[in-house]
Amino acid sequence: MSEIKVDTVGPRVDNGTLTIGAAGDTVNIAGTAGTGFPTPTTGIAASAITTGTMATARLGSGTASSSTFLRGDQTYAAPTASVFGSSYFAAFNNTDQTLTNATYTKITVNTEIVDSGGNFDTSNNRFIAPATGVYFIYARGFADSGTNTEINSVIFGLKKNNGTIVAESSVNMAANPGRNIGPALQSTISLSASDYIEFWCNANDASGSPVFKSNTIFSSTGAGNEFGGWRVA
């Protein structure tokens, strides 16, 4: 093995290229790098980095922080929040409500059970979609005719933006009228951001004075009616 001792090694011309070794060779550089010793920026195989750490800024472009991740295209990005469970609500009507007979009437859903994003409006009795997506919406409750068993039919409907009914569920008891009649309604509905959904009821009472019963129709602990839903896609 030979040894050459010199103070400076450079190319034959200024700003030229200096080549040490050839393809396939192993070049060992011992000692400590001093000033002017360039840090290699390209051509280093990942397998060649066996110890130490590498600055995150060298791994990709963008801002590296505790709230970002490195994507496959070597850019840092913030994760997008999952839509599942990101918006959900449940509320109920806490007082008996007189309905207009055989006509759709909006239910006064005025008491929240849960509202993850503050998107339920108790003043206007509606859920306002915070983002575009598909929502699972449900509604349940009971219509009553008072002391008489005169309810012929009950229809629950979901109305979008105070326009058309977009989902319905009904019970027809005309052949055998009764009391405390209520279908269960559930549906998946596409909503754009700021669209709103309301719970409506159409009860046909032979006496002409149907009532949508409060949450405590069966028990002081509630559960007599409920309007709720969540974003699913």
Interatomic CA distance for residues 99 and 110, integer angstroms? 16
The hierarchical CATH code for the domain 88-231 is 2.60.120.40
Whole-model pTM: value is: 0.64
In the chain, list all ranges with CATH 2.60.120.40. 88-231
Give residue-wise pLDDT tens across range 163-186: 999 999 988 876 666 677 788 899
Per the document, the length of the chain is 233
Sheet hosting strand 211-212, strand order edge to edge: 97-98, 211-212, 143-144
* Tokens 């070597």 -> residue: 74
pLDDT at 157: 97
C-alpha count within 13 angstroms, C-beta hemisphere, residue 55: 5
**Least confident interval from 61-65, 188-192, 224-228:** 61-65
Query: Whole-number mean pLDDT of the chain?
Result: 82
Whether residue 153 contacts residue 173, with contact meaning beta carbons closer than 8 Å, is answered with yes
C-alpha count within 13 angstroms, C-beta hemisphere, residue 104: 16
More confident residue, 29 or 136: 136
**Least confident interval from 24-28, 74-78, 133-137, 161-165:** 24-28
Interatomic CA distance for residues 218 and 224, integer angstroms? 6
- Percentage of the chain with pLDDT > 70? 78
Interatomic CA distance for residues 217 and 94, integer angstroms? 10
* Torsion angle (degrees, nearest 10) of CA 177, 182, 184, 185: 100
pLDDT at 147: 64
Which whole-number Å values give the CA distances from 97 to 152, 205, 215, in the listed order?
A: 18, 14, 11
Look up residue 146 and give its amino acid.
G
Among 221, 216, 219, 151, smallest CA distance to 183 is for 151
